[in-house]
Structure 1
Amino acid sequence: MKGAFMSWFRDLNKKQKRAFKEIVLGGLLWILISLLPFPEGIGQYIQNGLFLIPYFLLGWPVLKGAARNIAKRRPFDEAFLMAIATVGAMALGDFREGVAVMLFYQIGEFFQSVAVGRSRKNITALMDIRPDYANLLREDGTTVQVDPDQVGVGSTITVKPGEKIPIDGTVIRGKSSLDTAALTGESAPREVAEGSEVLSGCINQDGLLTIRTTREFEESTASKILDLVENASSRKSRSENFISKFARYYTPAVVYSALALAFIGPVIRLIMGLNPDWGDWIYRALTLLVISCPCAIVVSIPLSFFGGLGGASSSGILIKGSNYMETLSKIKTIVMDKTGTITKGNFQVSGLHHATFDHEEMLRLAAHAEANSSHPISKSLEEAYGKPIDFSVIRDVREISGQGVIARVDGHQVACGNGKLMDTVGINFIECHSVGSIVHMAVDGAYAGHIVIADQVKESSKEAIDKLKKLGVSRQVMLTGDSRAVAENIANQVGISEVRSQLLPQDKVSALEDILSQKEGKETVAFVGDGINDAPVLTRADIGIAMGAMGSDAAIEAADVVLMDDDPVKIAKAIRIARKCMRIVYENLVFAIGVKLTCLVLGALGIANMWLAIFADVGVMVICVINAVRVLFVKKL
């Protein structure tokens, strides 16, 4: 128990430690002075004088803040309410209660500070991805540490074990495991080797890596993430904007109401010929001030959103502002791009049919014929072949746009492409009924078979759709430029019932417009994509969600939410976090306003005393803050 307390105390910052010590000392003095026997008369004055010691120990920051705000002509805040209420209580002779109000107010403020500090830890941990330096490799083979800003595109840097990758790039030498937890929230290391794309902010765990940079520092992943997180708090939700306006008018209204209560009651009694009992009515007014302090609402609502944003970021989900939390929580329709979102976006050879050569030789001829092409299909053929390309055996390469390639490989005339190419070279080919891109081959004027190349569905795509359905996202739509056969095959694999295929980029916007026109009430429509051509659709949707690891810069910039590891399951998690966050916000609003209104009525009637006022202020705030902290526990969702 002692060890746990010491660990908790060490985690506090300097200001929090000082506040904790002052609260403990002030609280002990308050209890001691309250329990000590003092004789009537002069003893009562001595006790009241001693109460001033814990009062000023606890309340000096509040009194100073209230005086400063009065000097600036901005008096109406919680410090002013606490100062007036406690000084007034002691002026009426209630020194014990005056100190108690300040003590419990400071306990609430301390609890709030610790809760906010805890919610900031996720953001602070994310800030640790910022690299301090880059090891720039010079032409003479030596390295020098420079500021990452000074490293240009195409430079060569080295990253030693334990160091952060400072800039996005491609590994040109070495292999290692990368800790990607700061970016994706996943603890499993990622293996990289020569040719692997690596992102800034990851930590190199073991081997020495030599990297060719592909972006400037300010355009790298780490910089973009930090920019998104740092600017998220500036985009306030409707609830937060309401609270800001509420507090601006609420506090002056409360002060004037308390003044009215203190004077109107006695005046009415005087008119009726009764004892005005000024002390009782002033006490009621002071109780009203303590009850009405808006701490619970003003603190817990932003804390709930801040905790949700921080908790989401620790799971690899970047939500660009609390305003998007509300939109996320109301999603009923989700529209998804296919390539790079539902599928991996990297094509692989899935079959060889009707081959007149053995499969290895067929792949060798196809890979060499396509070797000079930048098309993704040529890369997939090279990967399937699995051996280095011997460019010395390739001659007379001719690429026919929209059809394929004709080349001489090892003395053989090889034609690789679609059915149009076979028609061009006068070869009868066999139609393929498999789903995917079909590469027909002809060697030395004779048909040699065809190769099926297909995009691979992400392992988690079906799970993602299932989870979305369980969350009540009743409509899932897939948009793609692929053929209907390919689109329907992918949709059937993952459980999507509505497909719109063979779409051009402008067609995707039109399709989304049609879907948006069909939504009902406050329901929202989300679009998930990763490509440059998805940017217009991401912008037009009620909320855009981009794949951050492989997604284009344009898509990430246009999106409202970014998934750092491209895992579609995180879409459902983002919605759950948003719904939990909004549920907590509404719980705190209803609870805080309900309790305060009840206690305000009781205080005005003279039923509530200062102790109930303390509960209505500090007690309600502590309960609301504890409830708000629950949003941090998102990893269990």
Structure 2
Amino acid sequence: MFDENFLMAVATIGAFLIGEFPEGVAVMLFYQIGEFMQDLAVNRSRKSIAKLMDIRPDYANIKVGEDIEKVSPDEVNIGDIIVVKPGEKVPLDGVVVEGKSMVDTSALTGESVPREVKVGDEILGGFINKNGLLSVKVTKEFGESTVSKILDLVQNASSKKAPTENFITKFARYYTPIIVFAALALAIIPPLVIEGAKFSEWIYRALVFLVISCPCALVVSIPLGFFGGIGGASKRGILVKGGNYLEALNNVDTVVFDKTGTLTKGVFKVTEIKVKNGISREQLLEIAAYAESYSNHPIAVSILNEYGKEINKDYIESYDEISGYGIKAVVKGKVVLAGNDKLMKKENIEYEDVDAAGTIVHVVIDRKYAGYIIISDEMKKDSEKAVRELKAIGVNKTVMLTGDNKKVADSVGEKLGLDRVYAELLPQHKVEKVEMLEREIQTKGKLIFVGDGINDAPVLARADIGVAMGGLGSDAAIEAADIVLMTDEPSKLVNAIKIAKRTRKIVWQNIIFSLGIKGIVLLLGALGYATMWAAVFADVGVALIAVLNAMRVLNVNNI
């Protein structure tokens, strides 16, 4: 019962009882104006999150034979074909089976530039189809789709309170009853003890004391600050699952990255072709593409993509995939070997031992060494920038954990300027390394793990703060993480930390300002120098200024 409404009611009734009618009306009127303004500010903060709610699709156009039926997204099953017309929201996650279009992904990823999708591309619920007609085969039910999970994450984010918010809630719980009894003592004790003191004068002082002491500036502006920080981050394509994680980002000591799909694109590409014994580059690439044409291994796919021409399967007379070694095939009457060092040794072929960061595919035609192809994973454009900026904002240690071979891992680590690199790790080894790194942290600093794959889920859950790549990351990783970067850009982690630091700065400005002004006016009120008007300003005015200051958190455009 000891909330701000109780304090205001006592102050108003008390003012009327001692004949201070204008001031009694002023308390009610200004309190209502203050509440109205606070509601406006809170609603504005909610709008940035409510914008995300607009991505919830209202219907889906499902293909039934030759007809199209408009149904609720809940009624669509996995494997159904849905049609998305220009201007419509994509209702569920799926794969494009027909059509080509530009899609607006900004609601989910924060990316302003539309993305092109074509047959075979994955498309997520919440994207907006811009121009073409798309037929999409549904891969997830509505409850499991990305759009549903995002809405659920954001709606529940405010339930996980930051330590500062919890402190303020506890503070208000004990502070208000203490103030009520202090005001009661102020009204009763001085007239009994001080000679000539009037009850009406001391009751008035006690009422002023009550109005000033109301903690609404803290109770409203601090949760609003964290709520605004979460909303502002979501504008930039960063989903924070709670105020506690936003506050934890202020004390980051170590950032640990996964490699494939996090710092690198996870897309293998031919980076070098070296020919031997008089064969041309084009011939080597063609023969390797034919040899690899039946394999769906990422290495084979990258060779076929580099070749880029139609494969006539009639030219392939026999094909044998030797697990762990490579391919043996007969192409256009020639026996072709394409594989690693182990295949060369197994077949007793003299080959060139290559020291390079990447996967080496040696090619042999009729037992004659023809050359090799180097395939590497491409670095993400902003990986180097992310590591550089993390150091600039005070992160002590940047580390990479990967299951890839040591040579490749060391090469990536060197290019990015990472402090440490651990390679050839299994998922359980990653957890062990994270625990080891946590033990090394001397301060109260936190450890962040950034990953994207299903094998990263245990480490994401184990780290102080787990950060998942949300655009292409696995569902398990997104589920286990505390923060999700919807654009798959590691540099967004720097934005998240900057937003967290700014949020904390604004929250502490409000705490110091509110308590400082209240302390001064409380003292003046107890001594009889502050009127009810000053008391109303110290409550409603301070609350309003604090709320407007908290609204600045939403402005994240320059972060």
Q: Please, what TM-score do these two structures have when normalized by structure 2?
A: 0.97
Match of 2:260 in 1: 339
The amino acid of 1:204's aligned partner reads N
Following superposition, the deviation at residue 219 of structure 1 comes to: 1.9
Following superposition, the deviation at residue 137 of structure 1 comes to: 2.0
State the alpha-carbon separation in 2 of the partners of residues 623 and 406 from structure 1. 75
State the alpha-carbon separation in 1 of the partners of residues 241 and 317 from structure 2. 52
Following superposition, the deviation at residue 487 of structure 1 comes to: 1.4
Match of 1:320 in 2: 241
SS for the counterpart of 2:96 is strand
Tell whether the 8 Å contact from 2:275 to 2:284 is kept in structure 1 after alignment. no
Following superposition, the deviation at residue 248 of structure 1 comes to: 2.0
Match of 1:596 in 2: 518
Tell whether the 8 Å contact from 2:274 to 2:281 is kept in structure 1 after alignment. no
Whether 2:51 is the aligned partner of 1:129: answer no
SS for the counterpart of 1:112 is helix
* Matched ranges for 1:264-283 at <5 A: 264-269=189-194, 274-283=195-204
**1:168 counterpart (85, 89, 93):** 93
State the alpha-carbon separation in 1 of the partners of residues 314 and 63 from structure 2. 32
Whether 2:71 is the aligned partner of 1:146: answer yes
* Matched ranges for 1:304-315 at <5 A: 304-315=225-236
Match of 1:107 in 2: 33
Match of 2:449 in 1: 527
Following superposition, the deviation at residue 311 of structure 1 comes to: 0.6
SS for the counterpart of 1:248 is helix
Whether 2:321 is the aligned partner of 1:399: answer yes
* Matched ranges for 1:32-43 at <5 A: none
SS for the counterpart of 1:201 is coil
Tell whether the 8 Å contact from 2:60 to 2:73 is kept in structure 1 after alignment. yes
Match of 2:272 in 1: 351
* Matched ranges for 1:486-565 at <5 A: 486-565=408-487
Aligned-residue CA RMSD in angstroms?
1.5
State the alpha-carbon separation in 1 of the partners of residues 310 and 124 from structure 2. 27
Following superposition, the deviation at residue 629 of structure 1 comes to: 0.8
Deviations 1:2-34 (A, max 9, x none): xxxxxxxxxxxxxxxxxxxxxxxxxxxxxxxxx
State the alpha-carbon separation in 1 of the partners of residues 80 and 325 from structure 2. 37
SS for the counterpart of 1:405 is strand
State the alpha-carbon separation in 1 of the partners of residues 446 and 198 from structure 2. 58
Deviations 1:201-235 (A, max 9, x none): 11010011122222222222111111111111111
Following superposition, the deviation at residue 394 of structure 1 comes to: 3.0
Following superposition, the deviation at residue 176 of structure 1 comes to: 1.1
* Matched ranges for 1:64-463 at <5 A: 75-138=1-64, 140-269=65-194, 274-355=195-276, 356-463=278-385
State the alpha-carbon separation in 2 of the partners of residues 550 and 383 from structure 1. 20
SS for the counterpart of 1:341 is coil
State the alpha-carbon separation in 2 of the partners of residues 163 and 564 from structure 1. 21
Deviations 1:115-146 (A, max 9, x none): 111111111111111111222223x3322222
SS for the counterpart of 1:582 is helix
- My pick for the range that moved more, 456-465 or 163-172, is 163-172
Following superposition, the deviation at residue 529 of structure 1 comes to: 0.6
The amino acid of 1:602's aligned partner reads L
Fraction of identical pairs, as percent: 55
- My pick for the range that moved more, 606-615 or 199-208, is 606-615
Following superposition, the deviation at residue 609 of structure 1 comes to: 1.6
Task: Tell me the matched-pair count.
Answer: 558
State the alpha-carbon separation in 2 of the partners of residues 390 and 552 from structure 1. 35
SS for the counterpart of 1:340 is coil
Deviations 1:88-121 (A, max 9, x none): 1122221111222222212221221111111111
Deviations 1:314-356 (A, max 9, x none): 1100000001011111112111111111110100111111255
Unaligned runs of 5+ in 1: 1-74
SS for the counterpart of 1:514 is helix
- My pick for the range that moved more, 304-313 or 83-92, is 83-92
Deviations 1:412-459 (A, max 9, x none): 322211011122222211122332111111122222211110000011
Match of 1:577 in 2: 499
State the alpha-carbon separation in 2 of the partners of residues 376 and 408 from structure 1. 22
State the alpha-carbon separation in 2 of the partners of residues 363 and 122 from structure 1. 52
- My pick for the range that moved more, 473-482 or 310-319, is 473-482
- My pick for the range that moved more, 449-458 or 385-394, is 385-394
Following superposition, the deviation at residue 411 of structure 1 comes to: 2.8
State the alpha-carbon separation in 1 of the partners of residues 143 and 285 from structure 2. 42
Tell whether the 8 Å contact from 2:73 to 2:142 is kept in structure 1 after alignment. yes
Q: Go from structure 1 to structure 2 and tell me whether the alpha carbon gap of 1:428 and 1:483 turns closer, same or farther (over 3 Å shift).
A: same
Following superposition, the deviation at residue 594 of structure 1 comes to: 2.1
SS for the counterpart of 1:157 is strand
State the alpha-carbon separation in 2 of the partners of residues 136 and 394 from structure 1. 42
Unaligned runs of 5+ in 2: none
The amino acid of 2:203's aligned partner reads I
The amino acid of 2:463's aligned partner reads A
Q: Go from structure 1 to structure 2 and tell me whether the alpha carbon gap of 1:168 and 1:247 turns closer, same or farther (over 3 Å shift).
A: same
Q: Go from structure 1 to structure 2 and tell me whether the alpha carbon gap of 1:135 and 1:391 turns closer, same or farther (over 3 Å shift).
A: farther
Following superposition, the deviation at residue 591 of structure 1 comes to: 1.7
Match of 1:69 in 2: none
Tell whether the 8 Å contact from 2:253 to 2:446 is kept in structure 1 after alignment. yes
SS for the counterpart of 2:260 is helix
Match of 1:634 in 2: 556
Deviations 1:228-277 (A, max 9, x none): 111111111111112222222222222222112111111113xxxx2240
Following superposition, the deviation at residue 542 of structure 1 comes to: 0.9
Following superposition, the deviation at residue 310 of structure 1 comes to: 0.6
